[in-house]
Amino acid sequence: MSRPSWHERIRAARAERAAASRTRVRRSISQRDGARCVVDGRNLLNFCGNDYLGLSQHFAVVNALQDAAARDGAGGVASHLVCGHHALHDALEKELADWLGAPAALLFGSGFLANLAVVQALLDDESVCVQDRLNHASLIDAARLAGCRLRRYPHADPEGAIRQLRNVPDGLAMLATDGVFSMDGDVAPLRQLALVARLQKALLYVDDAHGIGVLGPDGRGSVAAAKLGTAEVPLQLATLGKALGGYGAAVVGDADLIGHLIETARPYIYTTALPPAQAAASLAAVRLARQEHWRRDKLADLVARFRERASGAGLELMESQTPIQPIVAGTDHRALAMAQSLEQDGYWVAPIRPPTVPEGRARLRVTLSALHGVGDIDTLVVALQRARDRSERMPDGARPLTTS
């Protein structure tokens, strides 16, 4: 028997990625201080994180983490259904459900796990999952692993969604979409999609990882901003690791569906519970997000200022009113060159390349935080102009300093 060599296959695949400027490297952060961080020994102003409200280092959040760790230890000990479900988990689930106006919530170790759990627990090989073409990879993988029929519609196209649902008239149907799209920053047309789901008797599931804490009344996310509730969106995902500054996620919604997930969702049943100390930190963050409206107000002002300055500088923006503000570069090489230029000037902005985004749509993914100041925005735009001009003169073959 002659089998191919794994090492040869891996080397060949890496060589292909290198030739296309699509290798990925990790950066080591040794220190964080607000919006600044020390990366591989360099002090940079961070414009590529998802700490939208600036809560990851808030003293109340950190104190809650430390106090709970001192009492309850560092780990989750066991799965929730064995002996890992702690009173702090319960308190966080109740707080999230109350905040988002839903009957119940269920914690998961990550948003990726939560999406796997929802789709796999609710769909089978006789079901269909209809998804936006730009959905997060976890939703696509979830449908593939569930064994259901996966159908994808053009981005933000409710008519495309209803056509796909009509093409598969039998079996249970789920319509799944991001609330805020992580690479474009735009918001899904949720009211139209809710109507499509109702007409086609499909369950509408919204992954609102980038909307929770940022959009809607009291920061309740894109679903609330669209004036929808559990009746129209029976389940939604709320991440704890972006605007709330922690780690983990929760699925929030209909009590019967949540109960079904508790008893059947493999990514919930067969994994260790989130550490209670992390739940305590997220509980503190949720309460701050609910109460401190100034964070969202400041963030909205920064977004408006950035768009005004960037547009005036002739930078190619996308249609986003959220803290995710992509600057279109086009080619992979140009995105890498611009990121390198920005880092030389003291700014950390990640270049995003295919397959994360479509071919020919490489970009700089600028993300804003309440930790940034007005001056940070203005100097970033100047640096982006300079990066654009430098990239037009840089020879081919530049290598990535930041990745996605």
Q: Which amino acids are annotated as binding site for pyridoxal 5'-phosphate, given as ranges?
A: 111-112, 182, 210, 239
Whether the CB-CB separation of 336 and 254 falls below 8 Å is answered with no
Binding site members: 24, 111-112, 136, 182, 210, 239, 356
For residue 217, give the DSSP letter: G
Binding site members for substrate: 24, 136, 356
Peptide bond connecting 355 to the previous residue in cis, omega within 30 degrees of 0:
yes
Among 214, 302, 286, CA closest to 35: 302
Whether the CB-CB separation of 390 and 320 falls below 8 Å is answered with no
Whether the CB-CB separation of 246 and 109 falls below 8 Å is answered with no
Task: Give the Cα separation of 102 and 89 in Å (integer).
Answer: 17
Partners of residue 157 on adjacent β-strands: none
Long-range contacts at 314-317 (CB < 8 A, ≥ 24 apart): 314/385, 315/381, 315/384, 315/385, 315/388
Among 184, 157, 190, CA closest to 322: 184
Q: State the DSSP H helix or E strand holding residue 366, giving kind and residue range, or none if neither.
A: strand 362-367
Dihedral of CA atoms 148, 150, 156, 161 in degrees, nearest 10, equals -80
Residue-wise over 134-171: b if at least 16 C-beta within 10 A, else e? bbbebbbebbeebebbbbbbebbbbebbbebbeebeee
Whether the CB-CB separation of 178 and 210 falls below 8 Å is answered with yes
Among 376, 268, 266, 396, CA closest to 332: 396
Whether the CB-CB separation of 242 and 103 falls below 8 Å is answered with no
Surface-to-core class of residue 343, CB atoms within 10 Å of its CB (0-12 exposed, 13-18 middle, 19+ buried): buried
> Reading across the β-sheet that carries 29-33, which strands appear in turn?
29-33, 36-39, 42-46, 347-348
Task: Give the Cα separation of 56 and 281 in Å (integer).
Answer: 9
